[in-house]
Structure 1
Amino acid sequence: MRGHKTLYVMLAASFASTIGGLPFNTLPVLLGSLADTFGFSTEHLGALGSACFAGYLFGTLLSVVCMDRLNWRWLTLGCAGGAAFVLLVSSQMPGKAQLPLWVLLGFFSALMTCLGLRIMAEMADKERALGLRQGIELALVAVVLFSLPSLMIARFQYSGAALFLAAIILVLSASAFVLPQRSDLAKPAATNQSLAASFRLPPAAYTALILFFLFGTGQIGLWAFLERFGNALALQPTELGIVFAVLKLLGGAAALVLALAGTRLSLGKPYLLTFVTISVGLLLLGKAEGFLPYAFGAWIWEVGFTWGCIFQTAAVARLDPSGRSIMLIPAAFALSSIAGPMLAGKLIGEGFSPLLWLALGCAVIPLIGFSLLKRRRTTTKQLPSTAAA
């Protein structure tokens, strides 16, 4: 594939991935608007977030089996249209009808996320491709998050937010016409692969996926209620919009930094760096009484969360020479997104401190787990570097 064509394909795949990431990246703001519009309790909000990612989980598992059998352009148009339609219907329905709609939203979003990962996995320079994908996705999300609270939710509540996201998805879906057909990239053997073979991975890769799930459970639980945290501090919609827009811009910058310098880090340092960064952010959030401590705490935490996700994504991919494991990363993420909001919704009935402790405890798991995994594997062979994420 020629250079300029490769760049166009990476950009189109990044836009497809952005569609898939919108429900997660806007989750705190959407849940907050649902609470204000329909008067949902925190447990109900947690159930909605979990329902969305139950649909997301099903979509990720389905994509492992059928992604290389589908036309990627039609898949993008169909899933983007489906997600936009679900949001349109959701904007007009009462609160009791939201749960099944959020399941469908998660399903369509998962296929878009997996498509973006599937295409990027075929690029020769995977670090550059994944860094570009993450950077573009988070930059676009930053614009959306800046606009949602102050321009849409403050005036039109949840219905305005849902319609705005539907419009964004339809605009991004135009990238489908630049995407390759399935036959352009998919390996012939992959289309004939059995269901059992699709999930046959090295034990170390599954161990890394479990560590990723545990890490994500605590961080996504916090993410789902980060807007409610700011709301409890009496922050204004404009202030929250600034916090979340800058937060995603910093996440994109953090991803690009790792794309450039991550390979220079040794195996143990990435997870220590992640833990320390998250800990500082959580400490600031725990002490926050106003805008600035809350903002800096959320921003620093986001950088650590982004680094943790990228380091562990690279670890899973490098521990599986076949490359199939990258398709299960969204599945592990979806499981975290089901467990995290549900658990968080129960914990914050007693305040936000238990939620911060949960995030801290889950942040230390990769540091311990990958150290033990490295020790076991070095008895036979050197563990592949996971820092190039």
Structure 2
Amino acid sequence: MIPYGKQTISQADIDAVVDALSSDFITQGPKVGEFEQAVANKVGAAFGVAANSATSSLHLACLALGLSASKRLWTSPNTFVASANCGLYCGAEVDFVDIDPDTYNLCPKKLEEKLIAAEQANQLPDVLVAVHMCGQSCDMAAIGRLAKQYGFRVIEDASHAIGGTYQGEYVGNCQHSDITVFSFHPVKIVTTAEGGMAVTNDTELAKAMENLRSHGITRDPAELKDVNQGAWYYEQHALGFNYRMTDLQAALGVSQLTRLDEFVERRNQLAQRYNEKLASLTLTTPTLLNDCNSAWHLYVIQLEDPSCRRRVFDTMREQGIGVHVHYIPVHTQPYYQALGFDWGQFPFAEDYYQAALSLPLFFDMTDDEQDQVVATLSEAISAAQDAR
């Protein structure tokens, strides 16, 4: 099977984890801080706060921004459920903004239309989660302008996008947002096995997320209410969680991060080869904005005839090609339908989903493997069309 994505682990990665395992710290120790600083430095942010998953990081980011019951979070329906669930974790109301059918990202024009209507109804969002689908940044300058105009906070869900750039700068510098979240799941650009990180330029947001990821507990003398206790003393100042990353994971992350540019460069090469080799098939290849360089976590095509998708998918899986579909629109999930959402509300995201097919893309993928994917896809499309 050629998978749709997988991790790349070098001997240096293995050695880094073994060294951490042999050290005095295997849970949260100095490697976590080293990894946080390395990621922040790489993307141009002031602070990094590591967690045990990107989902946890999204939750921490929402809490740090004060999201709570009676408040509102908006996000894209074309994403994994975590981008919306983080709002529900806080007791907030969740809603969606339809996508740009060319980039698959949240559409700034649709956002502005929805904001105008929401302002008239006195229902403006408090937080927007802008999802960088497949590794390409949203139009963050446009989103940032709207955030200032309408007074909402912005989280960039860059789970797909570490190593990507927007307007010549790395995704994660938070120039147009309050917080950016990265994922280090094994199929992502770099991995810590499981893990996530929030980066920000705001000292108070960083402190809040650090506190909340560890039960809401502090040992910092500058923050203690009672300073007359012994070295054992700590205080819980908030209802936090155990969202901590381990030093073993962070050691892997530090090692992986040294090859980030190499990983992204190869993914871009593979994406360009796909663009060229798929040009003659009855499908649409991804569109990139002029000011974006995608990290290419995913390579998603749109089949010209959506009714063929199931047959093409099954045929390719049977032939050992691990195609996938990213994503089922969040608002169509049974849980969200029980909240009042339904098909037909976000037509661009729904149309995208009906025709979407994710092709294998990972750093170690060879040209021969990619050629095999393209040949199998061509045959599968032809067979599906003949069977209609």
Relative contact order, higher structure (CA 8 A, sep 6+): 1
Relative to the length of structure 1, the TM-score reads: 0.26
Larger Rg: 2
Pick the structure with more helix per residue.
1
Pick the structure with more strand per residue.
2
Relative to the length of structure 2, the TM-score reads: 0.26
